[in-house]
Each structure stands twice: as structure tokens, then as C-alpha cells.
């Protein structure tokens, strides 16, 4: 499935290994994909997350979400086929 990442105004773009994770803080929408050998974006999937995460940090496959206004945090990871899997939630 091919669609450019500019189809929505993403507020966060984070690299996780060879995947790109796009997130919209206002609506909680996410998109996951990668760049092929020619530099074209290939979308693998999307996800519905909570809105309001002010910080998104990527590691090799994991993501850390943090909401500065509440102190809440959450973790998740991206599978090899581009699906987002939530893991832990941390409430302040």
C-alpha cells in the first residue's frame, strides 16, 4: 500500500530501526512505514492511539510516549510487518 506521509499533518515523526512512525498529537492517529531503496515511502499500517502525547521517542523497535502535562508515559513496539503493539502504561 503506497501513500505519501504528507496526507495528514503529523506532529511527530520518529525512526524505529528501519521503520518510520508518524503520530498526530491532536487525534491520536499513527502511520507506520519505511523508505524503499529508491526513497519512496511505503506504508505498512496505521494505529489509533491516545491523543496528547507530547513526546515520542524511538529505539530500535520500541517507542516511548510521554505526556508533559500529566506525567503519564507508555511504551509499545513495532512488529517486523509494521504493526504497533502497546505494552505498558505508566501513570504519574
pTM, two decimals, is 0.89
Over the stretch 13-57, which tens digit does the pLDDT of each residue have? 999 999 999 999 999 999 999 999 999 999 999 999 999 999 999
Domain boundaries, the chain: 5-90
- According to the model, what pLDDT value does residue 66 have? 98
pLDDT surpasses 60 at 1: no
pLDDT surpasses 60 at 4: no
In sequence order, the 6+-apart residues with CB closer than 8 A to the CB of 38 are: none
Over the stretch 57-85, which tens digit does the pLDDT of each residue have? 999 989 999 999 999 999 999 998 999 99
Amino acid at each position: 500500500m503506497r501513500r505519501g506521509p504528507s496526507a495528514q499533518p503529523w506532529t511527530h515523526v520518529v525512526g524505529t530501526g528501519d521503520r518510520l512512525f508518524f503520530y498526530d498529537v491532536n487525534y491520536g492517529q499513527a502511520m507506520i512505514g519505511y523508505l524503499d531503496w529508491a526513497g519512496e515511502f511505503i506504508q505498512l499500517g496505521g494505529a489509533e492511539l491516545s491523543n496528547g502525547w507530547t513526546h515520542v521517542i524511538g529505539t530500535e523497535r520500541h517507542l516511548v510516549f510521554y505526556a508533559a502535562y500529566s506525567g503519564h508515559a507508555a511504551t509499545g513496539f513495532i512488529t517486523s510487518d509494521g504493526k504497533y503493539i502497546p505494552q505498558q502504561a505508566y501513570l504519574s
